[in-house]
Amino acid sequence: MGRAGRHAPDSRCRDRTHAPPTLCPATLGSRLDARARERACRADPQRSAPDPLTGSPVHPDLQPAQQAKPPHARATEYPRGNTLMMHAPISTNTANLAAISAFAAATPPNPFDITPILHPQAGVPSDQTKTFWSATANALYIVRENGTDLFGPTPDFAAKLAACPDLVDHGRRGPIGCDADPIVGLDLWRRADDAAIIDRPSAPVAFHAIGWLPTATDQAGWRELVLTFLDEQLVANGMVADWALHALDDGQGGWIKRPHMHAVITARFWKGPRLGQPQAAWLSSTKRRNALGNAWVATVGDAL
């Protein structure tokens, strides 16, 4: 995936349709010293709406999508091209990071969570910068890159990474052919988003899974666990997943962000004559999603 231009935001602007002032990474670094960065990342999370599948609360940093339609949502619109050209802010000042950035120093509530990515049926609310409504935005979020989806520019994920550098590793896993044109990189997710506009828009565009990793394992061990899980549970069944490892230690034997895995997983056919149609045999049922969670626990073992 290519890296798009990065803009750091002003915390007062929380609407994806409004342009935040530019703040270069050097200025950002001077404002956030190591101690402030750690406080921001460690701060107690604000709880969010319950996961639509499990019913348990999900932290804003772990809530890639939800189906709720707030009453102030705008009418459905799909701006494209140069309609909207600025990234909505995820503020990097200390107070805002304390509210939205860090969750993972705490005990993990569940070893594994999976959430459907659903296009909003009443437009994207202006204050939902912590919730990402497209497969494209979710794929960008896990690697902390900025970009544009069918609703316009994404939140400023790059500024989040600059404020709390937790991206350890990332990649794509899928069957043979998943890295060929025209589905290389973000095109895989853009095609799914485009298809979902007209083909069963109420069905998931993709899924976003989050799994906790053992703190006693190193980066190579985390990678091996994640790839084993993806290959055996997803790739073997025809799915493609973009994955990322997030972790940040405090340099003193503890964690600013406990290690965890993100995976954005296909929910629709990604090639062939049924391209873009929902694939009911993958993760459409609660039973299959629960089985996937059990498989994650079996993969990581008792180390959690």
Distance of CA 181 to the CA centre of its chain: 24
For residues 65-89, give the mean pLDDT.
32
Tens-digit pLDDT profile for residues 83-109: 223 343 333 333 333 333 444 444 556
Residue 18 within any structural domain of the chain: no
**Structure confidence at residue 30 as a pLDDT band (50, 70, 90):** very low
Rounded Cα distance between 140 and 259, Å, is 19
Tens-digit pLDDT profile for residues 121-165: 766 666 554 457 899 999 999 999 999 998 888 888 899 899 989
Residue 75 within any structural domain of the chain: yes
Residue 187 dihedral angles phi and psi, to the nearest 5°? -60, -30
* Domain count within the chain: 1
Q: Of the ranges 26-40, 73-87, 196-210, which one carries the lowest mean pLDDT score?
A: 73-87
**Structure confidence at residue 189 as a pLDDT band (50, 70, 90):** very high
**Structure confidence at residue 82 as a pLDDT band (50, 70, 90):** very low
Q: Please, are residues 105 and 23 in contact by the beta-carbon 8 Å criterion?
A: no
Q: Is the pLDDT of residue 215 over 50?
A: yes
Q: Give the whole-number percent of the chain exceeding pLDDT 70.
A: 59
Q: Of the ranges 4-13, 252-261, 292-301, which one carries the lowest mean pLDDT score?
A: 4-13
Residue 6 within any structural domain of the chain: no
Q: Please, are residues 263 and 252 in contact by the beta-carbon 8 Å criterion?
A: no
Residue 120 within any structural domain of the chain: yes
pLDDT at 32: 37
pLDDT at 263: 97
Q: Is the pLDDT of residue 76 over 90?
A: no
Q: What is the CATH number of the domain that holds 31?
A: 3.30.930.30
Residue 45 within any structural domain of the chain: yes
Rounded Cα distance between 209 and 263, Å, is 5
Instruction: With CA atoms as reference, report the closest residue to 72 among 134, 115, 120, 135.
Output: 120
| Bridge partners of residue 264, in order along the sequence | 208, 242
Instruction: With CA atoms as reference, report the closest residue to 211 among 133, 281, 304.
Output: 304
Distance of CA 119 to the CA centre of its chain: 15
pLDDT at 180: 67
Residue 204 within any structural domain of the chain: yes
Residue 79 within any structural domain of the chain: yes
Q: Is the pLDDT of residue 55 over 50?
A: no
Between 214 and 123, whose confidence is greater?
A: 214
Residue 139 within any structural domain of the chain: yes
pLDDT at 131: 55
Q: Can you list the positions of beta strands (E) in the chain? A: 112-117, 148-149, 152-153, 167-173, 206-212, 241-249, 255-266
Tens-digit pLDDT profile for residues 259-276: 999 999 999 999 888 989
- Which residues are CB-contacts of 153 (< 8 A; sequence separation ≥ 6)? 16, 84, 85, 86, 87, 88, 146, 147
Which residue range(s) make up the domain with 143?
A: 25-303
